[in-house]
Amino acid sequence: MIENYEKLTLDSYFTDNEDSLLLYFLGKACPLFQQSFSLDTAIGITDRENFLCYYNGNELNCGDLEGKKIPHGGLITKAMESGKIESGLMPKETYGVPFKASVIPIKGKDNKIIGTLNVAVNLKNQNMLSEISQTIQSSSEELSATSEEIASSAQILLNKVLEVQDYTNKIMNSINETHKILEFINHISKNTKLLGLNAAIESARAGEAGRGFSVVANEIQKMSQSSAEAVTNIKNILSTINNIATNLNEKVNETTDISNTQASATEQISSSAEELSACTSNISEIAKLV
């Protein structure tokens, strides 16, 4: 139909052929169409056999197609046969960069297809964005899984700490109960000492007849003294144990607070990772729409 598009003019060739005029004006408008795209884009016009014009993009360079024959079996042929817009993704091995090609059939005055408008959009940045989003999504999923494991471990640790805290409280309660018993023993020891003292006095009054009883009274006093000393020693030991248990309980309480904070923090990390994964999934879907 047209052999050398750049040499044709409206006055010399497209005077009374409306279909040719339509292709001509669309071809002349292609640079404007190309500028309207924010992405790197190549655009061109064909009739049913040849490329009438083709404007390459910055990186997307399909070569000098002007005047070349349309390759049969491709999207252009398919669009002219179907009468519908046909699109396809091309790998970077084809022309150096990946791109999406769209072919729009052009209909003439008799509603017959007289040519096509071809638009190719460079997908290099979109593919890079998609790959990055997939990497971030994968990393965020791993982070989420790890956070869940940490949260689970933190909960187990917290449960163990609470068990230790419970045992510590029981120890302190037992120490307090022991103190009560010791106080009771100490009370008996004092009374026994008084009884021994009274027995010694009565033995002295009895003279020679109370000598044997005096020996018993002395032994009672010695036992009372020993009991009192033993109670004092046990009290000191229990006091030391009580101080240790008190310090242990304070440390357990601090550990409990830390475990609670850790569990809360890991839950927040896990939640943030899930949100990040959802966002990157949306980015990936948006990249596919281009």
pLDDT tens over the chain, length 290 residues: 444 444 443 233 355 688 888 888 898 899 999 999 988 999 999 999 889 999 999 999 999 898 899 998 899 999 999 999 999 999 988 888 999 999 999 999 889 999 999 999 999 888 777 777 777 777 777 777 777 777 777 778 778 778 887 878 888 787 778 877 777 777 776 777 676 677 667 667 766 655 666 666 677 767 767 777 777 877 787 778 878 878 877 777 777 777 777 777 777 777 777 777 677 676 666 655 55
Residue ranges, CATH 1.10.287.950, the chain:
146-289
| Cross-strand bridge partners of residue 99 | 90, 122
Beta strands, E only, the chain: 41-46, 51-55, 86-90, 99-107, 113-122
CATH class of 5-122: alpha beta
pLDDT digits (tens, 9 = 90+) for 133-157: 777 777 777 777 777 777 777 778 7
Backbone angles phi, psi at 46, to 5 degrees: -125, 155
Question: According to the model, what pLDDT value does residue 83 have?
Answer: 95
In CATH, the number for domain 146-289 is: 1.10.287.950
Question: According to the model, what pLDDT value does residue 82 have?
Answer: 95
- Compute the Cα dihedral for 14, 15, 18, 22 and give only its sign: positive
d(Cα 8, Cα 18) in Å, to the nearest integer? Answer: 15
Q: How do beta strands 86-90 and 51-55 pair?
A: unpaired
d(Cα 19, Cα 27) in Å, to the nearest integer? Answer: 12
pTM metric for this prediction:
0.52
d(Cα 153, Cα 268) in Å, to the nearest integer? Answer: 15
Residue ranges, CATH 3.30.450.40, the chain:
5-122
Q: Which residues contact 266 (CB under 8 A, 6 or more apart)?
A: 147, 148, 150, 151, 154
CA end-to-end span of the chain, whole Å? 33
Q: Which residues contact 18 (CB under 8 A, 6 or more apart)?
A: 108, 109
